[in-house]
Structure 1
Amino acid sequence: MDAMTTLQRWTRPTALKLASLAVLMVAAAMWELPAISAEAAVKIPAPAVDEKAGTSHTETAVFAGGCFWGVQGVFQHVRGVTRVTSGYSGGSASNAQYEMVGTGMTGHAESVEIRYDPTQISYGKLLQIFFSVAHNPTQLNYQGPDHGTQYRSAIFPRSPVQRSIAEAYITQLDTSKAYRAPIVTRVEDYKGFFPAENYHQDFLVKNPSYPYIVINDLPKIGNLKTMFPDVYRNDAVLVSKGG
């Protein structure tokens, strides 16, 4: 196995030893690894069906697309988003802990709860970003180096309107052959969102040189800036600052 493949397979902090981490950080910087993210961006059309503009300034979306570090990081840089929290959806409150979710036996998926202002950005636009740059919706029960049902691609609608928009968009993208493989994203019943432990919050922003982030997630931020310049914001909205 070559060094680059080894780097791509490194996963979460519980699996990293400090000595190896130091070596990987140097290697990532030398090899300019952001270009090798396993979840390449895809240019896709906007949804034909979207929510109507209203007077509410606060709505919530819940998406799951692999490791929540990167998905949270992407949406923290989206204009109109007021808060993004990493957490767990799909299971119960009793087993919404990182170690338990990591077994793949709880029903949870690593997810993000996105609070946004629908007068500035629509649910459909958030979905377009989710499908285009935040993750790869054709990977079944994995994203990049992370495997298991806890890393599945899923949408947890908070209303019948959100469900209809999500389902219509998946059909639209599959029909248009936007991807080389079928979309496997599940539209699941919302059973609640449970925030992850504090050390997971704002992880990408706080740890931009962390090897996993450099390899898998920083390319997503670059793709967001390039592909969605109209909604990209340079300063991330942070959980730790009450954003």
Structure 2
Amino acid sequence: MTTSSSPAVRRRGMLFLAAGAAVLAAGLAWQGPALHAAEAAVQLPAPLQDVPADGPRLQKAVFAGGCFWGVQGVFQHVKGVQRAVSGYSGGSAATASYDAVSSGRTSHAEAVEVTFDPTQVSYGALLQIFFSVAHDPTQLNRQGPDRGTQYRSAIFTQDPAQVKVAQAYIAQLDAARAFGAPIVTRVEPGPAFYPAEVYHQDYLTENPRAPYIVVHDLPKLDNLKKMFPQRWRQEPVLVKRT
């Protein structure tokens, strides 16, 4: 993990290392990237409904799928995305800080605000990537080693059109039995988005060798590149460069 003054960041690192120690204690060799089963991607169909492009005007979408480091990293590598910012959504401005949100008592979820050009990548295409490679939408109030409502799967919609398309896509995937369990992703219309602290922005790119990133997040980039080669952007669009 990166050096940080945040106790919550250090706790996340310690929890991850404790999981690795448990593997070793069980007499198994901990191979780091070999523990990628939880990050397996799912090949999903495109949404049958989509939000039409309204000319060249940029649009925004907000997604929550566990730790925001990996979700941000995925969308930063998608063509047509102009900006992807880690932050918090679902609660108030007064509690929009990492240590407060990590308590699980603020109603916030770790989320990523994606600014995109709909003439290059549609809202529906972003939904397809979100469900396919960015997270596991069948895990209730958790993702991988992270537990709590702050790690819930959620789509924070920005307008009625996004609500309609997101709900329709979840229904489409459930009807097709795309996953081995029901989708638990919540569609939460309209809450404000609050950017996270600077040290969280571009975390995946700046810390590619951190154990948490290696095991839980780099596989997501591999899956994005393999499953959506037409969407893949080699050079990420970074917050600190825009």
TM-score for the superposition, normalised by structure 1: 0.88
Q: Distance in 2 between matches of 1:15 and 1:160?
A: 36
Cα distance change of structure 1 residues 189 and 54 upon mapping to structure 2, 3 Å threshold? closer
Q: 2:93 matched to which residue of 1? A: 93
Aligned: 1:13 with 2:6? no
Q: 2:27 matched to which residue of 1? A: none
- What amino acid is aligned across from residue 150 of structure 2 in structure 1? Q
Q: Distance in 1 between matches of 2:227 and 2:10?
A: 30
Q: Give SS of 2:127's match.
A: helix
Give the Å deviation of 1:189. Answer: 2.2
- What amino acid is aligned across from residue 204 of structure 2 in structure 1? L
Q: Distance in 2 between matches of 1:61 and 1:125?
A: 12
Give the Å deviation of 1:32. Answer: 5.4
Give the Å deviation of 1:54. Answer: 2.5
Cα distance change of structure 1 residues 37 and 241 upon mapping to structure 2, 3 Å threshold? farther
Q: How does 1:138-217 map to 2 (within 5 A)?
A: 138-217=138-217
- What amino acid is aligned across from residue 122 of structure 2 in structure 1? S
Cα distance change of structure 1 residues 158 and 116 upon mapping to structure 2, 3 Å threshold? same
Q: Distance in 2 between matches of 1:15 and 1:179?
A: 28
Cα distance change of structure 1 residues 100 and 54 upon mapping to structure 2, 3 Å threshold? same
Q: 2:132 matched to which residue of 1? A: 132
Per-residue deviation, residues 112-166 of structure 1 (Å, max 9, x unmatched): 0000000000000000000000000000000000000000000011010000000
Q: Distance in 2 between matches of 1:144 and 1:237?
A: 26
Q: How does 1:73-84 map to 2 (within 5 A)?
A: 73-84=73-84
Q: Give SS of 2:240's match.
A: coil
Cα distance change of structure 1 residues 218 and 148 upon mapping to structure 2, 3 Å threshold? same
Give the CA RMSD over aligned residues.
2.0
Q: Distance in 2 between matches of 1:35 and 1:121?
A: 32
Q: Distance in 2 between matches of 1:37 and 1:15?
A: 20
- What amino acid is aligned across from residue 221 of structure 1 in structure 2? L
Q: Distance in 1 between matches of 2:128 and 2:215?
A: 23
Cα distance change of structure 1 residues 51 and 34 upon mapping to structure 2, 3 Å threshold? farther
In structure 1, the gaps of 5 or more residues are: 1-10
Give the Å deviation of 1:15. Answer: 4.5
Indicate if the aligned counterparts of 2:156 and 2:188 stay in contact, CA closer than 8 A.
yes
Q: Report the number of matched residues.
A: 225
TM-score for the superposition, normalised by structure 2: 0.88
Q: Give SS of 2:139's match.
A: coil
Indicate if the aligned counterparts of 1:133 and 1:224 stay in contact, CA closer than 8 A.
yes
Q: Distance in 1 between matches of 2:176 and 2:88?
A: 31
Q: 2:3 matched to which residue of 1? A: none
Q: 1:55 matched to which residue of 2? A: 55
Q: Distance in 2 between matches of 1:223 and 1:166?
A: 22
Q: Distance in 1 between matches of 2:110 and 2:12?
A: 17
Indicate if the aligned counterparts of 2:66 and 2:142 stay in contact, CA closer than 8 A.
yes
Q: Distance in 2 between matches of 1:127 and 1:84?
A: 14
Give the Å deviation of 1:177. Answer: 0.4
Q: 1:240 matched to which residue of 2? A: 240
Q: Give SS of 2:130's match.
A: helix
Q: Distance in 2 between matches of 1:65 and 1:158?
A: 17
Q: How does 1:113-124 map to 2 (within 5 A)?
A: 113-124=113-124
In structure 2, the gaps of 5 or more residues are: 1-7, 25-29
Q: Distance in 2 between matches of 1:130 and 1:218?
A: 15
Q: 1:3 matched to which residue of 2? A: none
Aligned: 1:43 with 2:43? yes
- What amino acid is aligned across from residue 108 of structure 2 in structure 1? H
Q: Distance in 1 between matches of 2:57 and 2:99?
A: 35
Q: Give SS of 2:104's match.
A: coil
